[in-house]
Chains A and B, each alone.
Chain A
């Protein structure tokens, strides 16, 4: 981090130390509550943090050394007060406090605001970032909190004292084992992986064709068609689900009676068709977005060189819109994979999907296995997100739209 030379360094005693003391006393309050001596904790925290600020600012200009040292000292203090968990908490506290100390004492907190900014403006600038940080915390924390809880050795939905003490006995893989061995969960898992890919294939193939049609220059009633094709995303799911419920029960009876198909098979067909409709808007949106940037002269050039429409589609247009198609496919997949309401109404027990099982689990007999499933799904969504991001960047690069 480079700091402009004209940023004045703030006064140590008048600025850095008091703020550090406040931060330290907040930390001390937490430790104090845990140990039952709140006033002692607050005072001790304030003193420790103030001393840290003085030492770091005056004696340790090397940032790395200072931070490691602070982490080590606080880890020691933490270990005395709270064992292994205390040591880990101490390392974190040391790293945070030393970071704040350097941030304040070197004047780095003014980076990003003009030199002429008033103190109030600087305060607002940083407060704004803290607020944004809290909002990001609100977004992410619920998802992250599920991960450690999934390893709970007890059947509780909260942290047990053993878990907080970082005792290995407090953790286990038993909920994951249950997820992978209990037929109540393995069957829905299998169903989800049957239904979602097939529904995706239908929505992607029909959706891509339609998106290509929609992106032509002369389409009569384009707006109306678009509105109809996007509507599955807009209509409240409960209304779609009830409409489909009546339609697919009639269709199912017809398929069983006239075509002589088994009840199980028709059940899957019903759910797959229903889910593919729900995925269509996402495919249409992503593929049309890719086609907006598509250079039409490329297909004309291909035609000029003698390629038929089919050949030019597969050799020229398809590779270029592929990223859009794949990210549309991922959206369609996750829509189906994550869908509960429609499958609840259209499917029967043999088509029970993972979200359905989670839904009944959450509503009726809440079992901790749900958290293991949730953890697996979070990992799964991280993979999906990474894929989509990579594809988006690749698409932008291919079309030369942005240098990133």
Chain B
């Protein structure tokens, strides 16, 4: 049949080969379809998928130690916790600068809070030492100012560290504050000549710019003096090419003064502030969390911790998350099973009744589905509480006495009952749509071949309804495992789920990293189930109403 095609390819009406013309048409069709989808896809990707990915990324993110204590982290690299001793002087020198900068930026308490998750007690260490470190800087500042009062002026520092172009632009901007503020540019080579001081000034300049102020006219931080002294001590003759000509004598004078005095012991100063600095554990924590990424939150989320002997299980009284995950899973499973037990007969009845009757009864299933979740939750609260309707009826019927009213709310029972009710329509609807497709003649055929009603149901009907059971169960389980509102309102402390813990860490304890790690695990489970659901049912086959 193909010899004509081989001889000369088929042509479309306009003379192009048919194959090419068809490909082009197909491509146009694909592009049109994508163009229709694109706005929504972009909207969902930007406002939903990326934010969630970004949030989950917080579970491994750990920039805070690295960003707040950059010099300390560098100095700490050579320290070995196995030595059993706190690090030596150089680390404390770097810490002094870092901590003063952090205190000025009000970051030291945040860092303390972060490290406190890993090593309780660190928070107060940072909080108290912030003030002490500031004192060190002030002493150095006073000494420098004693040599030359110019050191007290912001302009002096700006002239040393800012590039000439930036200084000119900044002076012009500061005069009338019109136009946009020039971004700070560091003087070439200064970060090699005076590394610590340059780092401190850079942080200062960024902070001043953020507040819309000129770094040159802002009051300088005391830490500059400390950092400069340290720089000059380790290198008394900084490269003159990197220094501005006007300020070079000033620096030389300071350098001479620093060389003249006995070195200040930072280690002793810090140990005097707080004994915690002498403990190996403190430094171990800082070193362990100094890399920009960490598995610490995930370890925490599964009740593990980093210990001197590697990763270990937390002490029993601190193990809460595995238990909470297990409880969430177990209760979701129980809810799914009770939904199945209650939903199966109803779906069977709906599928086997006359259309008019079943449509009427369907309304009884759909009404709860359409009723606000909070209405249903408040109804259960009204029904289940100790002075509530069910207890009142039981007392009235003398089934329980007034003192022995049943506790059915603020515990697992409350969560179970309310959530089974709330999720039941999600079980009935998929079951119904599958059962509707099973011909009733099969059952009759089985019975006429001699099967008992039970055998006929179990061997013939039930296997055909399994896709419905799968779809409904996975849907209910997925919805149950991530529930927040109902457990929060009727679950008390015993009936809450992992979602409630995540919400607690996001809004109350502010341990976002741990919340993200817990969320990532939960999402992983849900996505796995979602994938299974997609394989079994296909997402396009989800039916509503």
A interface, CB within 8 angstroms of B = 30, 33-34, 38, 121, 124, 128-129, 131-132, 135-136, 138-140, 142-143, 145-146, 149, 156-159, 206-207, 209-210, 212-214, 216-220, 223, 225-232, 234-240, 242-248, 273-274, 277, 280, 282, 285-286, 288-289, 327, 331, 334, 337-338, 340-341, 345, 355, 358-359, 362-363, 366, 370-371, 373-374, 377-378, 381-382, 384-385, 388-389, 392, 404
Contact = CB atoms under 8 A, between A and B. Distances in A.
Query: In the complex, which of the residues B34, B36, B483, B515 has the most CB atoms of chain A within 10 Å of its own CB atom?
Result: B36
B482 A239 contact: yes
Nearest to A215: B33
Interface residues of B, number: 92
A110 to B, nearest CB: 16
A359 B375 CA distance: 10
A136 B45 CA distance: 41
B51 interface: yes
Interface string B392-422: 1000111000000000000000000000010
B506 A245 contact: yes
B540 A334 contact: no
B502 A239 contact: yes
A388 B418 CA distance: 25
Nearest to B501: A238
A238 B374 contact: no
Given A210-B40, A242-B55, 15 more contacts: A33-B398, A132-B349, A139-B364, A145-B383, A158-B387, A207-B40, A225-B41, A239-B482, A240-B52, A277-B44, A285-B544, A340-B485, A341-B484, A374-B375, A374-B378
Contacts of B359: 404
B389 interface: yes
Interface stretch (B120-128, B197-205, B522-530): B522-530
A159 B383 CA distance: 11
B272 interface: no
A246 B55 contact: yes
A234 B526 contact: yes
Contact of A139 (B32, B34, B421): B421
Interface in B114-154: none
Nearest to A219: B33
Secondary structure call for the A interface: helix
Contacts, number: 279
Contact of B37 (A139, A214, A359, A388): A214
B29 to A, nearest CB: 5
B48 interface: yes
23 contacts: A34-B396, A131-B345, A135-B346, A138-B424, A142-B379, A159-B392, A206-B40, A227-B539, A228-B45, A231-B48, A231-B49, A236-B483, A236-B526, A242-B502, A277-B43, A277-B48, A285-B543, A355-B372, A355-B373, A377-B374, A382-B367, A385-B367, A389-B545
Query: In the complex, which of the residues A158, A388, A404 has the most CB atoms of chain B within 10 Å of its own CB atom?
Result: A158
B473 to A, nearest CB: 15
A277 B507 CA distance: 22
B385 A217 contact: no
Given A30-B397, A138-B342, A392-B545, A213 B36 contact: yes
Contacts of B522: 236, 239
B368 to A, nearest CB: 5
By Cβ-Cβ distance, the 10 closest A-B pairs, closest first, are A236-B482, A213-B36, A247-B51, A243-B52, A210-B40, A243-B51, A142-B379, A213-B37, A216-B33, A243-B55
Interface in B481-499: 481-485, 488-489, 499
Given A159-B389, A226-B539, A359 B374 contact: yes
B372 A140 contact: no
Contacts of B489: 359, 362-363
B290 interface: no
A236 B361 contact: no
Contacts of B32: 213, 216
Query: In the complex, which of the residues B50, B371, B397 has the most CB atoms of chain A within 10 Å of its own CB atom?
Result: B371
A242 B526 contact: no
A389 B362 CA distance: 10
Contacts of A226: 539-540
Contacts of B392: 158-159
B544 A282 contact: yes
Contacts of B389: 145, 149, 158-159
A229 to B, nearest CB: 6
B355 to A, nearest CB: 6
B316 interface: no
Interface of B: 26, 29-30, 32-37, 39-41, 43-45, 47-56, 342, 345-346, 349, 355, 359, 361, 363-368, 370-383, 385, 387-389, 392, 396-398, 421, 424-425, 453, 478, 481-485, 488-489, 499, 502-503, 506-507, 515-516, 519, 522-523, 526-527, 530, 534, 539-540, 542-545
Contact of A213 (B35, B345, B530): B35
A38 B379 CA distance: 31
Contact of A371 (B29, B41, B47, B378): B378
Contacts of B33: 213-214, 216, 218-219
Nearest to A357: B374
A113 to B, nearest CB: 10
A239 B523 contact: yes
B378 A358 contact: yes
Given A207-B40, A247-B47, A374 B379 contact: yes
Given A132-B346, A210-B40, A277-B43, A145 B34 contact: no
A385 B48 contact: no
A237 B482 contact: yes
A132 B516 CA distance: 43
A238 B342 contact: no
Nearest to A136: B364
B486 to A, nearest CB: 10
A229 B530 CA distance: 13
Contact of A239 (B376, B519, B540): B519
Given A139-B368, A209-B40, A327-B545, A157 B485 contact: no
A359 B481 CA distance: 20
Contact of B485 (A129, A159, A280, A359): A359
Given A210-B37, A229-B44, A140 B368 contact: yes
Contacts of A331: 544-545
B379 A145 contact: yes
A225 B522 CA distance: 22
A210 B544 contact: no
Contacts of B502: 238-239, 242
A157 B37 contact: no
Query: In the complex, which of the residues A34, A285, A286, A371 has the most CB atoms of chain B within 10 Å of its own CB atom?
Result: A285
Nearest to B30: A218
B472 to A, nearest CB: 15
A218 to B, nearest CB: 5
Contacts of A285: 542-544
B531 to A, nearest CB: 9
Query: In the complex, which of the residues A142, A219, A242, A274 has the most CB atoms of chain B within 10 Å of its own CB atom?
Result: A142
A131 B36 CA distance: 49
Contacts of A34: 396
